[in-house]
Amino acid sequence: MPYIYGPRLYLRAIEVEDWEHGYRWVNDPEVTRFLPLHLFPYSQLRERGWYERAARGESRDEVHFAIVLREGDRYIGNTSLFAIDWRHRQAGFGIMIGEPDCWDKGYGTEAMQLVLEMAFRQLGLHKVWLQVDADNERAIQAYTKAGFRREGVLRDDRYYNGRFHDTVIMGILSAEFVPLERETEG
């Protein structure tokens, strides 16, 4: 059931039945190259458990969405707001498009804009922030297109592939958000 539409994709709730897609994505080194996920293999039990929790949606401080292409209803990734802080009205943002053939087509930017619209217009948040590996140029470019600004860097933040890597902090305030021009329904 679509929840919010963009021009080319929509966000919907995550369902338990989606889990086999996620299982494939989190075990694909190309997808997880810049994510903390890639350090260990993910079991079916672990991934299924994540999907069950996301589908139950009981947490007050996080919300997860499936990213689906309008054409063919193809499920291509997940996106989340997490660490939602209702007092300071801010949340962390995460996204994974698990199908590499869908990268560099603007889908990530569109999904970000839809989540930001929900964060600012429905939840009344003031700020959305994120952390990204400094080497993840594709993600940084997409975040920048969606309106995130670079706020700082955590030097030598994570160790993998034999060396330390910097983490970039980015954020967007509600007043900086430019909503996507889009239809309100399919």
| Residue 76 touching ligand COA (CB under 6 A) | no
The 10 Å CB-count burial string (b at 16+, else e) for 75-109 is bbbbbbbeebeeeeebbbbbbbbbbeebbeeebbb
| Residue 9 touching ligand COA (CB under 6 A) | no
Among 52, 61, 104, 151, the residue binding ligand COA under the rule CB under 6 A is: 104
Site residues (CB under 6 A) for ligand COA, limited to 137-156? 137-139, 141-142, 145
| Residue 135 touching ligand COA (CB under 6 A) | no
| Residue 136 touching ligand COA (CB under 6 A) | yes
The 17-56 contact track toward ligand COA, x by CB under 6 A, reads: --------------x--xx---------------------
The three-class DSSP label of residue 11 is strand
Helix and strand numbers, DSSP H then E, in the chain = 5, 8
Cβ burial of 117 (10 Å; 0-12, 13-18, 19+) is middle
- Chain contacts with ligand COA (rule: CB under 6 A): 31, 34-35, 77, 95-97, 103-109, 132, 136-139, 141-142, 145
